[in-house]
Amino acid sequence: MLRRTLVAALPALLLATTACAEQSVGDPNAPAGSAVAYPSKTLQIMAPAGAGGGWDTTARTLQQALQGAGLLGGQSAEVRNVTGAAGTIGLAELVTSHKGDAHQLMVTGLVMVGGVVTNKSPVDLSQTTPIATLTAESEVIVVKSDSKYQTLKQLVDDIKADPTSVKWGGGSAGGTDQILVGLLAKAAGADASTVAKQYIAYSGGGETKAGLLSGDISVAVSGTSEFADLVKAGTVRALAVSSATGGDAGLGTPTPSIKESGYDLELMNWRGLVAPPGISDAEKAAVIAMVDKLHASAQWQQALTDKKWTDFYRTGGEATTFFADEHTRIKAVLTEIGLG
């Protein structure tokens, strides 16, 4: 055990020494990030979910863009999948097994914030070293085209009058979709706890679509891209998107946002990057400097366009505050709807 700790501590110690040495001789005006040669060995990017999902795609896109933009300094990057429990298994591994190892990065996101609360995970994002938020996708609220609801207001008026009148459907219990339903009921002053109990959890966007089309549920909540094609085809109608301002939900013209419809609420399904706890400030600065260059690279910008991800870039202190705020907000709503 002691030997393992020592072995693990050695590279960190060496890095720190190099960092100090370089800093002392380096140009004082140079950005802090250039102080540490990073990465100095193979970079491990963990996708805390199975292959093919959003986090996995983000991790693999990061890997490719880092390689493509030549930001790895001759080293390579590997993607590893650690599946389970809304990413909290991966989170626990990062915090406990990789403490102090700046070459272990993990993709994270809003779903993990919710998962920490619903799974009563002993570790949360505040125990990691936040690096950056990268991308975000807005949510969309849709009804079938023959539904009586033409606007979000009509729908919200109904749930205010009778919280059991609307059957909602979306992804897993306690996930982004149900969080949005809870937040919307709360923002509108409806009985959030009862409204959220009318929510049917499906195993994914596909099953949610089938549930809406068969008439099981009357309102579906999902990522905007999931329903874009059905909105375009006129099979379903988008009532609102969850971004700050209206956005394209498939029609080519902006669909109003929830905020624009009169309810003070904004929720983005964001994804970001964290490092393990216990890395030095110089290492943290070096990782952020690498991600900064990545964000500016043509490869990353191209990937954002290709995958229709909204750029949602915040780093360092700003990212730390954002993670903490989201945790507070999500925990509050999940507790209120009985999932916390």
Contact residues toward another protein (CB under 8 A) are 50-52, 56-57, 60, 63-64, 80-85, 88-89, 92, 118-119, 121, 164, 167, 172-174, 198, 200-201, 203-204, 206-207, 209-211, 213-217, 225-226, 228-230, 232-233, 235, 306-307, 339
E strand or H helix at 248:
strand 247-248
- The nearest distance, CB 200 to another protein, in angstroms, is 6
- The nearest distance, CB 10 to another protein, in angstroms, is 25
- The nearest distance, CB 295 to another protein, in angstroms, is 20
- The nearest distance, CB 20 to another protein, in angstroms, is 35
244 phi/psi in degrees, rounded to 5: -65, -45
Tokens read off for 125: 């994002």
> In terms of CB distance, is 203 or 253 closer to another protein?
203
Residue with tokens 């705020």: 325
- The nearest distance, CB 53 to another protein, in angstroms, is 8
Give how far Cα 156 sits from Cα of 78, 147, 166, 195, 208, Å: 46, 14, 10, 10, 21
- The nearest distance, CB 325 to another protein, in angstroms, is 23
| Strand, helix or coil for residue 50 | coil
> In terms of CB distance, is 63 or 261 closer to another protein?
63
> In terms of CB distance, is 305 or 321 closer to another protein?
305
Please report, as a single letter, which amino acid is at residue 138: S
Tokens read off for 44: 């491990």
> In terms of CB distance, is 29 or 203 closer to another protein?
203
From first CA to last CA, the distance across the chain in angstroms is 36
> In terms of CB distance, is 180 or 230 closer to another protein?
230
Calculate the CA 98 to chain-centre distance: 21
> In terms of CB distance, is 105 or 288 closer to another protein?
105
Torsion (CA) 209, 210, 214, 217 in degrees, nearest 10: -50
Q: How far apart are CA 208 and CA 292, in angstroms?
A: 37
